[in-house]
A and B are shown apart, each in its own frame.
Chain A
Amino acid sequence: MNKTVLFSALLAVMVLMNTGPAAGQTKRFQGEWNSVDQQGHGLVKLQINVKGNVVVVHAWGACPGKPCDLGSSLAYDVASTVHWWNDTPSALLVNYELPFARKLLVIELQKSVLSARTFTHFTDDSHRTDYMESALFHR
Chain B
Amino acid sequence: MSKAILFATLLAALVLVTTGRASAQVDRFQGKWKSVNRHAHSLIKLDIAVHGDSVEVSAWSASLEPFETHCARFSVTSSGDCIDVRQSFRGPDHLGPTRAEIYATHESDELAGKASALLVGYPGRLVILELQGSNLAATVFSQGRVEHALFTH
Contacts and interface: CB of A to CB of B under 8 A. Distances in A.
Interface of A: 1-2, 5-10, 12-13, 16-17, 19-22, 78-82, 84, 90-91, 93, 104, 106, 108, 117, 119-122, 128-133
Interface of B: 41-42, 98-111, 114, 116-117, 119-126, 128, 139, 141-148
Given A2-B99, A22-B144, A129 B119 contact: no
Contact of B108 (A1, A9, A78, A129): A129
A84 to B, nearest CB: 7
23 contacts: A1-B100, A5-B121, A6-B101, A9-B124, A16-B124, A16-B144, A17-B144, A21-B144, A22-B144, A78-B146, A79-B144, A79-B146, A93-B126, A119-B103, A119-B119, A119-B128, A121-B101, A129-B104, A131-B103, A132-B103, A132-B104, A132-B105, A133-B106
A7 to B, nearest CB: 8
A78 B144 contact: yes
A10 B22 CA distance: 29
A contacts with B: majority SS: mixed
B102 A13 contact: no
Contacts of A9: 121-126
Contacts of A82: 147-148
A122 B125 CA distance: 22
A84 B119 CA distance: 24
Contact of A132 (B41, B116, B142, B146): B116
A10 B142 CA distance: 10
A16 B108 contact: no
Contacts of B126: 9-10, 13, 93
Contacts of B139: 106
Contacts of B110: 129
B29 to A, nearest CB: 14
Contact of B107 (A12, A21, A129): A129
B119 A6 contact: yes
A128 B107 contact: yes
Nearest to B55: A1
A107 to B, nearest CB: 11
A106 B130 CA distance: 14
Question: What 10 A-B pairs have minimum CB-CB distances, sorted nearest first?
Answer: A20-B144, A9-B121, A132-B103, A1-B99, A6-B121, A128-B107, A13-B126, A91-B146, A132-B117, A78-B146
